[in-house]
Structure 1
């Protein structure tokens, strides 16, 4: 019995999509050869839909608490927003835009067959708008074929064709188009597989058809081509893609993803700049919130471009680290995964070869997010730097989970980002694992840490009572000085720390640090503490205007 396209159907769609992607995840990961064979497309799509499903459940919970029923616009809007903020990888980002395109139509529609037809057409068009250099034989082609099939099915709406029939037609059109992708993109033809992102979209559309028809079909998607195609196979677009580096084994070294709060004009400038820095550029979103995805060699420059455009957060930088265009990602011997509180620190860690997990104030990473970062490092041995005393249990749980998957993980007990910088500075993959653990742990332990923060409310501290707006100086997590002037508090903290000795001061400037702060503090150190060097980094963190490390 067909069901109407309403809020309940969207909720069911999310659940069925998660089940489908859960079944197909490993198979999709295994055929991930474009644009980078990093073996995570299925996982990224699953995590993207998981975020979308959580947002839909939260919308239902909110309406239940208020004693109201969610509308189609509420549910589909929540699904699109959840996918946007949780999008992972190239394909996850494109699917987030596809859902946003559907929302533009369905939020104002009635859930009819014609509304679904229009939504699928808008979804396909929006994906092309989001991708800097569209390539056929990918998820874009599959989305267009689904929209074409929906158009044909909706033409029979006057004869009783409903949204369920339109969804089923879109699914079948997508399945047919997916099987043709090896003949459209040379790298797929050589590998003898269909497009991984397109495979995920077929699973997503199948879940929509099941949600509306009430008939669950668990038929697996065929992921292999009938036979590998010759080297010259593929259309003109695929040939251009290989020629300009997209799909080339010598492609960029990093994948950079972040959420960005910025206006339309700033994002337009950002697109141009990022397009000059790398490839696989996808920028999705709108209404002031965007998800940015790009592959680059200079991860720091990609993050800096985001800072110039607006406020980036949830920065994720993955080092491809020798990934080739084979069916499975190359494994490295050892990697470092570090939790960092700002985009500048994320870029710094990435340039040093680490996989950063950038977090927003008040939004600590879950253990699952850390496990995913460990997996994406593609290493047999991983050093995990939590860089926050409050994350020790979360990081320990992530390390334990990764160990069950065959990864040797060492949890380096870093309690601050400056300790993480010190540990990363002595990391040496060439020595034994145990020696590396000892050296990194010793470097972190030898680094005293401090930070400046602004009090949000009146509170009792070890240094006395503070008022909202006061500047707090904390050493090793304890408040030691309270005042109103940030520079004076910073110099007081430095003097206390250096009274016990030290050779190197590390200053990490936050997003709200006043101009000239670093220069004033450097002059103070030179004048008061002879033979002490100072190094300054633009951290970009929002929770603390200044982080200090003394070694």
Structure 2
């Protein structure tokens, strides 16, 4: 149970209950200020989502803390580690990823002790760890604010004194960021990530003292701007990186060092946080596929999220409510190869792995990351229909117009994306995409894990299953032969185009063999082959 703080009570130690209270208050504060922070987000990209990303990162941290309390009465060390680990897993965007590293740096010290002196040391380690995580640190950002907070309380002291000094140092540094970066000066705002960190430190002060610190009054073109996004100018040049790529990575330290070098050469805004074999990677690049491929070479990437930044043409369509493109597509896909393919077509993607389905929060997050007034959602899985519908409703409540096209397989999503035209009317675009998806029959090959009864008979472990429209239609022993049988059954009803999507662990000659089979037996049918990469079924087939 969370400890109830009396008015003006001051703590002498950050015990488990106090850490839990801090995570809850930080989340609440970021929730209240999310839109305000989004509104002043002009660096490194003016995409109006820093407040949302910080909120989602804090939400993941708090959920992890609540999970350990639900299981038992944790100690302070376990609680602070859970907070840091949750933030690492759920980090969003550039500032959210840095916040996760700040919490990780603090956790390393607070696990040893939690008085004022340890808090001062924790803030210093957090600031240093965050700078080490960023490939090219820039002053006038959340890094500057974190360093100032650490310097302000470097002398140590009581817990309340240290927390208050860190907050005041951070707030003073935040006010100065307006003059440290030209883009902030031109927009007349402070750094959005830095403001988020001040909010988190303010929640710490309230936890320790029982009193919320005073916030400055909004200034014209000053520290705070009126609520609601303000449509700031885009940071950088018009030909900046086109994609934001984020993924979790299981890899060793040496592999991550090489990954940093490779990603730094590919793009900018590179932040790699974590350790002990698990990392959160964030980078802005023009070649999303190359960024993911670098992760594959380093280890095992998963939870891959690729966001297509608004193009100059799309930015011209932004409205007075902020940097929102007119329309975007959000697609759920298996495998990093398909994620890259869909991202190159302009979609915001959510990548799944075998046996895993994205939660509703992930889909809502993807809709938000699309930064569009109108969003087409492609779940590409029958079992995701209800989750996607609920996510669409939540996004609509935030003022985003969302159309859910009930695509049941990735090949239907690809067909829908192929006819997507953001310049035509929303309803017309949705109708065309729905028609293209509906005209695509789909099949999948899988390997049976155990003996079971199917609509095609009893299968044994290791049998190859050919599923057509979700039902087992063919049971075979050879992947290629089973695929040929499935193709013949599907093409018996006609078709003009066969789409083949193969995974990394699929035999390399399978696609070529099926292409030859189609050319020999169905002269008027074309074929197109795509590579799904790791984490996809062995073979997906679409027939249009």
Q: Above 0.5 in TM-score?
A: yes
Matched with 2:451 is 458
Is the counterpart of residue 361 in structure 1 residue 364 in structure 2? no
Task: Give the match's secondary structure for 1:429.
Answer: coil
Deviations 1:97-120 (A, max 9, x none): 11111122223x022322222211
Task: Give the match's secondary structure for 1:151.
Answer: coil
Task: Give the match's secondary structure for 1:539.
Answer: strand
Is the counterpart of residue 150 in structure 1 residue 153 in structure 2? yes
Matched with 1:120 is 123
| 8 Å contact from structure 1 (residues 137, 185) kept in 2 | yes
Moved more, 259-268 or 245-254: 245-254
Matched with 2:228 is none
Task: Give the match's secondary structure for 2:444.
Answer: strand
Is the counterpart of residue 217 in structure 1 residue 206 in structure 2? no
| 8 Å contact from structure 2 (residues 205, 213) kept in 1 | no
Which of these residues, 60, 69, 72, is aligned with residue 51 of structure 1? 60
Is the counterpart of residue 312 in structure 1 residue 312 in structure 2? no
Which of these residues, 163, 173, 179, is aligned with residue 177 of structure 1? 173
Matched with 2:48 is 39
| 8 Å contact from structure 2 (residues 205, 212) kept in 1 | no
Q: Compared with structure 1, are the counterparts of its residues 466 and 118 closer, same or farther at alpha carbon in structure 2 (3 Å cutoff)?
A: farther
| 8 Å contact from structure 1 (residues 179, 225) kept in 2 | no
Q: Compared with structure 1, are the counterparts of its residues 19 and 407 closer, same or farther at alpha carbon in structure 2 (3 Å cutoff)?
A: closer
Q: Aligned runs of 1:351-500 on 2, under 5 Å? A: 351-500=344-493
Distance apart, 1:20 and its partner CA: 0.9
Deviations 1:466-496 (A, max 9, x none): 3334332211111122234323322222222
Distance apart, 1:500 and its partner CA: 2.1
Alignment partners' CA distance in 1, 2:217 and 2:129? 27
Matched with 2:197 is 201
Q: Aligned runs of 1:1-16 on 2, under 5 Å? A: 1-3=9-11, 4-16=13-25
| 8 Å contact from structure 2 (residues 80, 110) kept in 1 | yes
Alignment partners' CA distance in 1, 2:197 and 2:271? 17
Q: Compared with structure 1, are the counterparts of its residues 315 and 306 closer, same or farther at alpha carbon in structure 2 (3 Å cutoff)?
A: same
Which of these residues, 98, 103, 110, is aligned with residue 106 of structure 1? 110
Task: Give the match's secondary structure for 2:249.
Answer: strand
Distance apart, 1:548 and its partner CA: 1.2
Moved more, 350-359 or 139-148: 350-359
Matched with 1:26 is 35
Task: Give the match's secondary structure for 1:500.
Answer: coil
Alignment partners' CA distance in 2, 1:496 and 1:529? 12
Alignment partners' CA distance in 1, 2:304 and 2:216? 33
Matched with 1:73 is 77
What is the aligned length? Answer: 522
Alignment partners' CA distance in 2, 1:412 and 1:290? 34
| 8 Å contact from structure 1 (residues 509, 541) kept in 2 | no
Distance apart, 1:395 and its partner CA: 1.7
Alignment partners' CA distance in 2, 1:316 and 1:61? 29
Matched with 2:245 is 256
Alignment partners' CA distance in 2, 1:461 and 1:548? 20
Q: Compared with structure 1, are the counterparts of its residues 255 and 329 closer, same or farther at alpha carbon in structure 2 (3 Å cutoff)?
A: farther
Which of these residues, 521, 525, 534, is aligned with residue 528 of structure 1? 521
Which of these residues, 92, 110, 114, is aligned with residue 88 of structure 1? 92
| 8 Å contact from structure 2 (residues 39, 322) kept in 1 | no
Alignment partners' CA distance in 1, 2:461 and 2:83? 37
Moved more, 298-307 or 22-31: 298-307
Deviations 1:360-406 (A, max 9, x none): 33432233332332233232322211111111122222223333333
Alignment partners' CA distance in 2, 1:456 and 1:39? 46
Task: Give the match's secondary structure for 2:541.
Answer: strand
Q: Compared with structure 1, are the counterparts of its residues 223 and 72 closer, same or farther at alpha carbon in structure 2 (3 Å cutoff)?
A: farther
Is the counterpart of residue 299 in structure 1 residue 291 in structure 2? no
Deviations 1:121-158 (A, max 9, x none): 11101111111110001000111111112212x1xxxx
Deviations 1:434-457 (A, max 9, x none): 322222111111111111223333
Deviations 1:278-331 (A, max 9, x none): 111111111221111111122222222222222222111112213769996433
Alignment partners' CA distance in 1, 2:254 and 2:86? 24
Alignment partners' CA distance in 2, 1:460 and 1:224? 69
Q: Aligned runs of 1:155-166 on 2, under 5 Å? A: 161-166=157-162
Task: Give the match's secondary structure for 2:423.
Answer: coil
Is the counterpart of residue 190 in structure 1 residue 186 in structure 2? yes
Q: Compared with structure 1, are the counterparts of its residues 317 and 329 closer, same or farther at alpha carbon in structure 2 (3 Å cutoff)?
A: farther
Distance apart, 1:226 and its partner CA: 6.9
Task: Give the match's secondary structure for 1:2.
Answer: coil
Task: Give the match's secondary structure for 1:394.
Answer: helix
Q: Compared with structure 1, are the counterparts of its residues 427 and 2 closer, same or farther at alpha carbon in structure 2 (3 Å cutoff)?
A: same
Task: Give the match's secondary structure for 2:279.
Answer: strand
Matched with 1:239 is none
RMSD over aligned Cα atoms: 2.4
Alignment partners' CA distance in 1, 2:428 and 2:536? 34
| 8 Å contact from structure 1 (residues 317, 357) kept in 2 | yes
| 8 Å contact from structure 1 (residues 193, 223) kept in 2 | no
| 8 Å contact from structure 1 (residues 322, 330) kept in 2 | no
Q: Aligned runs of 1:233-248 on 2, under 5 Å? A: 247-248=236-237
Alignment partners' CA distance in 2, 1:504 and 1:341? 21
What TM-score results when the alignment is normalised by the length of structure 2?
Answer: 0.90
Structure 1: 5+ residue stretches without partners: 155-160, 229-244
| 8 Å contact from structure 1 (residues 246, 280) kept in 2 | no
Alignment partners' CA distance in 1, 2:498 and 2:160? 64
Alignment partners' CA distance in 2, 1:75 and 1:32? 31
